[in-house]
């Protein structure tokens, strides 16, 4: 932590961020704190649309990172109306927040010196059939 970052840590953090974006995590970003912090290298930050979505994303994070050998240092107990879930994996920290909490705490502004990489969900390929095409009718 702080300085040189192991490739597997970088890949896990960015892979986790991509997975969150694919599962409708909003405005997913990775903040590279390796030159600013001695206690962690990355923050992964994403927005959830509801507390249910937040809990689901937190579960997905653990399901994604577990097989890669990463587990949180502590498992948070999440209430039904939770606004923020912090999953600390040591070398990186995942923040899943409602839009309200994210707007209030503004982690990206707090860590303004960090290099920020935005990730978005891959877009579905465009359909090859024209939108106005109707199914053929058999008579």
In a domain, 78, yes or no: yes
Which residues constitute the domain of residue 88? 7-119
Q: What is the pLDDT of residues 32-72, one digit of tens each?
A: 999 999 999 999 999 999 999 999 999 999 999 999 999 99
Cα–Cα distance, 135 to 98 (Å, whole number): 42
pLDDT at residue number 4? 62
In a domain, 128, yes or no: no
Cα–Cα distance, 66 to 12 (Å, whole number): 10
The CATH number of residue 53's host domain is 3.30.460.10
Q: List the chain residues with pLDDT less than 70.
A: 1-4, 123-139
pLDDT at residue number 70? 95
In a domain, 2, yes or no: no
In a domain, 88, yes or no: yes
Cα–Cα distance, 37 to 22 (Å, whole number): 28
pLDDT at residue number 67? 96
In a domain, 86, yes or no: yes
Number of domains in the chain: 1
What is the number of other CB atoms lying within 10 angstroms of the CB of residue 58? Answer: 22
In a domain, 137, yes or no: no
pLDDT at residue number 135? 47
Strand order in the sheet with 26-32: 84-88, 92-98, 42-48, 26-32, 115-119
């Amino acid at each position: 932590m702080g300085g040189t970052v192991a490739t597997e840590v970088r890949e896990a953090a960015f892979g986790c961020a991509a997975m969150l974006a694919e599962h409708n995590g909003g405005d997913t970003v990775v903040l590279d704190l390796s030159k600013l912090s001695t206690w962690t290298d990355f923050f992964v930050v994403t927005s959830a649309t509801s507390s249910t979505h937040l809990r689901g994303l937190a579960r997905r994070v653990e399901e994604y990172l577990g097989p890669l050998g990463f587990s949180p240092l502590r498992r948070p107990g999440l209430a039904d109306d939770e606004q923020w879930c912090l999953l600390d994996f040591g070398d990186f920290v995942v923040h899943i927040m409602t839009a309200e909490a994210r707007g209030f705490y503004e982690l990206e502004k707090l860590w303004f010196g960090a290099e920020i990489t935005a990730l978005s969900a891959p877009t579905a390929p465009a359909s090859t059939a024209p939108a106005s095409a109707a199914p053929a009718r058999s008579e």
